[in-house]
Structure 1
């Protein structure tokens, strides 16, 4: 698998792989200690978190001016978010670039979707303008956050209201048709504060055919202090996205006309509402209590490009899908401390009725161009309802010994129940008979920490996670698969070293064993089926550094070396992939940013993003070479005004965000019928301007 490019870049990438901590402005005198809440469900100094966790704070988000959340998450070592266009995506955290339900996405510690209704695109339901940071727990976090938190848990923290009147607005546009307006307002009155923030974005004509979109997103947070140590917090987030789906290209079209699309009518419409209200604080000596009631209302209607399959030169089949759910849940925990001993006990109750349907389509195709021209609606092939319930109990205990040693252990029990009702007559086409299925698991963890010195912190331990088959996996295939929950056992060791205020280094080593892991097995482009893979192995090294070299120059590095392989996987008598690398799993991935501040208020940064070669197919015969991208960002802040410009993909590289192949290693390989490429955007210029008022006329 090693190519000349891989070996040439490997020493450089190895040197720059890194984690991030907050970049430091030249005019800053002191630095506040960074804290995280996701590691233990309450504020913990980042440098003392007992697990692998990375954070991106509000300052970093402002510097990036992202139009895609992956531009932010890729700053964390071991994290790569694939851009599938118009905020659509998949994720890679201690896993290949995956569409599988191995991640937990949260907002203020509450999952944004129920277990069992995973969507690899779920982060388009997040309003980044309403958040002031993102925290990523890498590896199984199931003892605190439940099933699916296997590859990792990604927690978005909403921004609290300001103590003084605050208002900001910004506009930005690109030469590729993207336009966006952001607004935020905040104030407090006595013990009560309110913050409202949101944005509207759309994309018109661009480099890619059939790729328009529009999105509106809004977050409101109301805080009321019941006392000096007790907060009543209420949040509401609403997002609505409508986007075309240009789909992928075959090998020839990817290389010769990357802006082409076969699609003319595919779409995705998403509407998501989340609301929560809860009380948290210290109600007894040595204790901390949190209880939150939450509600979700979500619908996704689509005619997706990935469900269109060619039947011949002038015809194809497709489907529309509809998915809607509501949720009502309660999440609560209490932490009590007695001297050096802490005990946290919590639980979750949730009910999420879900309706799903599919309708068959007969599609007319132009045999010359390959474009899909029109369609006729056929029979309803799925129409069912699932009453989904989830109950969980968990406990986490820790003790701090002498000489900087600490020990923590946790255990969580999750029970998931699917009560499935098929409104159609059961068949191979319309689905299985009505039935009830349950999945339950207990997830343990144990960690040892050592504060070796004020500058050096070490941690290590074992954790286990599990992920049950989700509803669409069970009930949207031709027949109900004989699937069971996948389980994952992880051993990891990590260290954080901060010899001075200007340098922060960290590293983590992990080995993650998967049992009965769900893997999508592709029999041809666009057609795949879930299988319990038997056994898989995920292992790697995540390294990091953040260095303020001088008052003007700083360097931030983030990345990893990893290998994801099949240990036992034989999908048919003729196919055995044991010992092979899992597709879409590059060994090397990382980002490097060098920033320069020539004068106060000005910043210029050059970022390099590297993704190494990877196999496109399970037999490891078709390879994608990966890519190296350069992004240039600059901004100037004067009083309340900020001007910025970006050049993304500075070298105008031709690349694929992700590439796959259905080739089985037998017979001739045909890239035009077996390979598919999701094309990356060409060089893009972005310009923006913002104004921020904090009651004194100063910038934020």
Structure 2
């Protein structure tokens, strides 16, 4: 049975020991790195693994990564968590760095909580997940981890066309072309997805395009990739009411049928690299443009937000024997406009303080410069020492294109002391942060390694945290968030089994949050302790078993802005997350997978007064190779039609609220593979 992850070789796993050293991770440094040399926890999901899952949402694939706590939202949306609680709030997207081939999807300071929906995950890509702080390589936003989407490798994806259909009027068409001519290699891929929506007025249309070209001349190579995405989505809001997700009919309703999200993105990168034995170098200039508009149905007055930014940047790296060094540079221009078309409904206070018209209209130019260095010293035959450091310097040049203060668009003062939204005066803000790392990797045997590291991660404040103020706040005096981490791990393989185990301790300081006066402030800390592991066993020639699990305790430190919460568990943080896959190779050409998913109970508020009970799900997948060029894939998600919540939350205004999970869902896919 072929494994659903990259760690187990597809053809050899049934009959021999699995050699983890064959797996490579390009994101652990600027150069290809064998997994056993990585000083930290890393998981890779191959393109075959993603194809087998045939995910309609990236969360369906990430359940195979221990420590990931993604909460699926409506449509393509989600809230992320990696060695952390599920992240929420204006700057939550700054906690986990999302990249394509190592280049961030969004500029530092301009992230979006749902940004992975723009990545070409369904177009022959693979995924790497680096857990814990990785700011020494990636800089700002690599606070609790990195999710790197790798565009497909030349000569591996083949030529294919696929059509998928599912419940709720869902269908997807995608085509991939992989060709080679002399020294030129070329990949082109395109997808179109349509979802009618599980809930009322909640469908979407999405298109993605990927074009990739590589030219090799001797030891030098030039690899250029272009990807584009477009989304037109109707968005469903939280379902309000205690345990309302358990009502099947109610779970399909949408209290905000007018909500929508529209977005498009363009990204171009060209990596030039050369390997000359003792030394190698690479330089990657890139450009990006992203544009998004959505209705903020979760705010009084339901204002519209339009945001966009364009970037030019370059990544560079030089490897000489045991030394890696590089410099990253980036310039970005970002814009944000928030305006309200209709009068605010509700209390006299809301109507008086939230006016029609523009609330924010600003432009921010950002400059970023980040040198880094990493030394990998072979202390002995068995022991390898890693010392790394990176300094991130970032400057925001903010230009307020409206009047400043708590007045409306015409300059009039709102009632009840002033308008809700406050605009600071134009200004410049600078942030600098050094991120060190010390790591050890010890080879116990040929197939087993111990690793440990102490590292610091950070994220600079996001532009929205600095310049999107409320009430009486006229300036946000914010510091960069930091996280200090200590990790110990053991990975290896024996005959027919392999594993990766890790334990960690982390403390996150200078939390950026909104206090009771609605001010954006820095202060307080949280503590994070946990163990996580992944284990795979080839039970027989036809049976293979995998389990991915994590246990974590996330607790509040002293955070005066939240009240008496010290020692409480952080909300949206299930202690146990687990999944397991049992794979059966029924006979040649027919495979099946039974998947179990477990999400533990968790608190939905900082005071630990409200709770979600957790859930368990079963999924069934099968692949049938009908002929050499034709295959039929099918999956039945939520096999037992369990009533559950993808996301549970508690609001002091609305009470218990949920994103209800989908019921039993069947998806069928027909794939045609052909020669070029």
- Return the TM-score normalized by structure 2: 0.91
**CA distance 1:29–1:273, shift in 2 (3 Å):** farther
Equivalent residue number for residue 273 of structure 2: 280
Equivalent residue number for residue 187 of structure 1: 179
**CA distance 1:662–1:522, shift in 2 (3 Å):** farther
Equivalent residue number for residue 48 of structure 1: 37
Equivalent residue number for residue 90 of structure 1: 79
Unaligned runs of 5+ in 2: 348-353, 407-420
Q: Deviation per CA, 1:49-89: give whole Å up to 9, x if none.
A: 21111111122112111111111222111113221122211
Equivalent residue number for residue 398 of structure 1: 376
2:637 to 624, 644, 648: 648
In structure 1, C-alpha distance between the alignment counterparts of 2:445 and 2:13, rounded to whole Å: 29
1:377 deviates by 9.3
Is structure 2 residue 74 aligned with structure 1 residue 80? no
Equivalent residue number for residue 304 of structure 2: 320
Is structure 2 residue 506 aligned with structure 1 residue 512? yes
Question: Are the equivalent residues in 2 in contact too, given 1:22–1:56 (CA < 8 A)?
Answer: no
Is structure 2 residue 672 aligned with structure 1 residue 681? no
Equivalent residue number for residue 373 of structure 1: none
Unaligned runs of 5+ in 1: 1-17, 310-316, 368-375, 664-671, 696-700
Is structure 2 residue 456 aligned with structure 1 residue 464? yes
In structure 1, C-alpha distance between the alignment counterparts of 2:372 and 2:384, rounded to whole Å: 20
1:48 deviates by 2.8
1:132 deviates by 3.2
**CA distance 1:350–1:174, shift in 2 (3 Å):** same
In structure 1, C-alpha distance between the alignment counterparts of 2:422 and 2:143, rounded to whole Å: 32
Q: Give SS of 1:579's match.
A: coil
Equivalent residue number for residue 12 of structure 1: none
Q: Deviation per CA, 1:280-323: give whole Å up to 9, x if none.
A: 121x440111101100011011113223x3xxxxxxx1210010
Equivalent residue number for residue 157 of structure 1: 150
Q: Give SS of 1:327's match.
A: strand
Question: Are the equivalent residues in 2 in contact too, given 1:133–1:158 (CA < 8 A)?
Answer: yes
Q: Give SS of 1:258's match.
A: helix
Is structure 2 residue 134 aligned with structure 1 residue 145? no
Equivalent residue number for residue 494 of structure 1: 489
1:522 deviates by 8.9
Equivalent residue number for residue 567 of structure 1: 557
In structure 2, C-alpha distance between the alignment counterparts of 1:473 and 1:179, rounded to whole Å: 38
Is structure 2 residue 329 aligned with structure 1 residue 349? yes
- Return the TM-score normalized by structure 1: 0.88
Q: Give SS of 1:254's match.
A: helix
Question: Are the equivalent residues in 2 in contact too, given 1:446–1:462 (CA < 8 A)?
Answer: yes
Is structure 2 residue 386 aligned with structure 1 residue 408? yes
Question: Any residues of structure 2 matched to 1:167-178 within 5 Å, and which?
Answer: 167-178=159-170
In structure 1, C-alpha distance between the alignment counterparts of 2:6 and 2:601, rounded to whole Å: 24
Question: Any residues of structure 2 matched to 1:241-640 within 5 Å, and which?
Answer: 241-252=231-242, 253-256=244-247, 257-282=250-275, 284-307=276-299, 309=300, 317-337=301-321, 342-362=322-342, 378-428=356-406, 429-478=421-470, 479=473, 480-500=475-495, 502-519=496-513, 530-571=520-561, 575-637=563-625, 638-640=627-629
Equivalent residue number for residue 25 of structure 2: 36
**CA distance 1:354–1:570, shift in 2 (3 Å):** same
Q: Deviation per CA, 1:480-507: give whole Å up to 9, x if none.
A: 433211111000000102012x200110
1:519 deviates by 4.2
1:401 deviates by 2.2
Q: Give SS of 2:52's match.
A: helix
1:467 deviates by 0.8
Q: Give SS of 1:583's match.
A: coil
In structure 2, C-alpha distance between the alignment counterparts of 1:567 and 1:260, rounded to whole Å: 39
Is structure 2 residue 116 aligned with structure 1 residue 123? yes
Equivalent residue number for residue 412 of structure 2: none
In structure 2, C-alpha distance between the alignment counterparts of 1:299 and 1:591, rounded to whole Å: 35
Q: Give SS of 2:136's match.
A: helix
1:530 deviates by 4.8
Q: Give SS of 2:69's match.
A: strand
In structure 2, C-alpha distance between the alignment counterparts of 1:166 and 1:106, rounded to whole Å: 24
2:95 to 79, 93, 102: 102
In structure 2, C-alpha distance between the alignment counterparts of 1:198 and 1:419, rounded to whole Å: 38
Q: Give SS of 1:62's match.
A: helix
Superposition RMSD in Å = 2.3
Equivalent residue number for residue 669 of structure 1: none
Question: Are the equivalent residues in 1 in contact too, given 2:43–2:128 (CA < 8 A)?
Answer: yes
In structure 2, C-alpha distance between the alignment counterparts of 1:583 and 1:531, rounded to whole Å: 20
**CA distance 1:346–1:624, shift in 2 (3 Å):** same
Equivalent residue number for residue 372 of structure 1: none
Q: Give SS of 2:373's match.
A: strand
In structure 2, C-alpha distance between the alignment counterparts of 1:620 and 1:345, rounded to whole Å: 46
Equivalent residue number for residue 666 of structure 1: none
In structure 2, C-alpha distance between the alignment counterparts of 1:498 and 1:520, rounded to whole Å: 47
Aligned residues: 639
Question: Are the equivalent residues in 1 in contact too, given 2:154–2:185 (CA < 8 A)?
Answer: yes
In structure 2, C-alpha distance between the alignment counterparts of 1:272 and 1:133, rounded to whole Å: 20
Question: Are the equivalent residues in 2 in contact too, given 1:114–1:352 (CA < 8 A)?
Answer: yes
Is structure 2 residue 209 aligned with structure 1 residue 218? yes
**CA distance 1:522–1:595, shift in 2 (3 Å):** farther
Question: Are the equivalent residues in 2 in contact too, given 1:129–1:197 (CA < 8 A)?
Answer: no
Q: Deviation per CA, 1:388-444: give whole Å up to 9, x if none.
A: 111100000011122401101100000111100001110123501101111110000
In structure 2, C-alpha distance between the alignment counterparts of 1:43 and 1:298, rounded to whole Å: 29
Question: Are the equivalent residues in 1 in contact too, given 2:46–2:126 (CA < 8 A)?
Answer: yes
Is structure 2 residue 245 aligned with structure 1 residue 236? no
Question: Are the equivalent residues in 1 in contact too, given 2:245–2:643 (CA < 8 A)?
Answer: no
In structure 2, C-alpha distance between the alignment counterparts of 1:72 and 1:275, rounded to whole Å: 26
1:521 deviates by 6.5
Q: Give SS of 2:478's match.
A: coil
1:25 deviates by 5.5
Equivalent residue number for residue 413 of structure 2: none
In structure 1, C-alpha distance between the alignment counterparts of 2:647 and 2:162, rounded to whole Å: 32
**CA distance 1:19–1:195, shift in 2 (3 Å):** closer
1:518 deviates by 2.5
Q: Which moved more, 1:255-264 or 1:317-326?
A: 255-264
Q: Give SS of 1:427's match.
A: coil
